[in-house]
Copies of this chain bind each other. A is one copy, B any other.
Amino acid sequence: MSDSPYLVKPHSKVNLKKYPTNDTGDFKDKEDAEPATDRHLKRLSVLQEVLYAQAKYSVLIVFQALDAGGKDGAIEHVFSSVNPQGCQVTSFKVPSTEEKSHDYLWRYHMHVPARGMIGIFNRSHYESLLVERVRKFAPEKVWSKRFDQINAFEEMLAAEDVIILKFFLHISKEEQKERMESRLLDATKNWKFNPGDLEDRKFWDDYQEAYEDVLSKCSTKHGPWYVVPSDRKWFRNWVISDAIVRKLEGLDMKFPPPVPGIEKIKVK
């Protein structure tokens, strides 16, 4: 099966200005896309059962975005049909004192999914090349080494049958503004509003540049990045589900063979 058109080809140089945030592919509107997304979600649910039963591969799905980019919504929507027993979401927040006292990959490694499992990272080890770079928590001579370190880490995981997909949810600066304003106005969304996000918004251009470097240097054969046009949530969900289904369909997954002599076993 062919790759998603939103995949970043290895060694390409990404200029995010050339990636539209409001693309809707071949779909006219939400009603037009939803049946296609629903078919993907149903298929994903079937594929997950075999993934779990076979317990050969694990699937690591990384979500990165600027604030209000839609990570939470994408996770809620795209994984709504998967069996929660086979799916583990880890939301990485500000590191604890213990986590800070380790190397930067330590806490992420601990949450890499086990064989048979889908593991979802809401934020990820890439924060070490994004917020840490932009807000100068790490000096350049430290973070500049991390592209290669992360590529090596992911290559090791891939060699151990971890299937990696990384999604950058790409929204416009105007869309971010609208979403932040709706968090301010809607009493059931107020809790999602974090005043610190306004501060980060001032660094918009720096974040775009940091993302461009990540996407250019860390989209690899074993750990591809996808730039997901995310102004339209329904299209975002389609792109993500489409990429995951394509990837899983391409694996040689099957139910494991029964124990030898199963045909002779009697339940008394």
Q: Which residues of A contact B (CB under 8 A)?
A: 53-54, 72, 75-76, 79-85, 87-89, 91, 120, 122, 177, 180-181, 184, 187-188, 190-193, 195, 198, 201, 255-259, 262-263, 265, 267-268
Give Cα A243–Cα B54 distance, bound, in whole angstroms.
33
Give Cα A267–Cα B178 distance, bound, in whole angstroms.
9
The smallest beta-carbon distance between A98 and chain B, in angstroms, is 14
The smallest beta-carbon distance between A198 and chain B, in angstroms, is 7
- Known: A76-B83, A85-B122, A267-B184. Contact between A53 and B191, CB under 8 A? yes
The smallest beta-carbon distance between A118 and chain B, in angstroms, is 9
Partner of A198, one of B91, B181, B265: B265
Give Cα A106–Cα B217 distance, bound, in whole angstroms.
42
Q: Which of A83, A181, A198 has the most CB of B within 10 A?
A: A83
**Is there contact, CB below 8 Å, between A84 and B85?**
no
Across chains A and B, which 6 residue pairs bring their CB atoms closest together, nearest first? A190-B258, A53-B191, A180-B267, A85-B89, A76-B83, A79-B84
B-side contacts of A259, CB under 8 Å = 190, 193, 195
The smallest beta-carbon distance between A216 and chain B, in angstroms, is 29
| Copies per assembly | 2
**Is there contact, CB below 8 Å, between B255 and A198?**
no
The smallest beta-carbon distance between A206 and chain B, in angstroms, is 16
Q: List 20 A-B contacts (CB under 8 A).
A: A72-B85, A75-B83, A76-B84, A80-B80, A80-B81, A84-B87, A84-B120, A85-B120, A88-B88, A88-B89, A177-B267, A184-B262, A184-B263, A187-B258, A188-B255, A190-B258, A190-B262, A193-B262, A195-B259, A198-B267
Give Cα A192–Cα B81 distance, bound, in whole angstroms.
21
- Known: A72-B85, A76-B84, A84-B76. Contact between A187 and B255, CB under 8 A? yes
B-side contacts of A198, CB under 8 Å = 265, 267-268
The smallest beta-carbon distance between A72 and chain B, in angstroms, is 6
The smallest beta-carbon distance between A44 and chain B, in angstroms, is 12
Give Cα A205–Cα B72 distance, bound, in whole angstroms.
47
Give Cα A258–Cα B192 distance, bound, in whole angstroms.
9
**Is there contact, CB below 8 Å, between A256 and B122?**
no
B-side contacts of A191, CB under 8 Å = 53-54, 255-256, 258
B-side contacts of A180, CB under 8 Å = 267
Give Cα A135–Cα B88 distance, bound, in whole angstroms.
32
B-side contacts of A79, CB under 8 Å = 84
B-side contacts of A87, CB under 8 Å = 84
**Is there contact, CB below 8 Å, between B181 and A267?**
yes
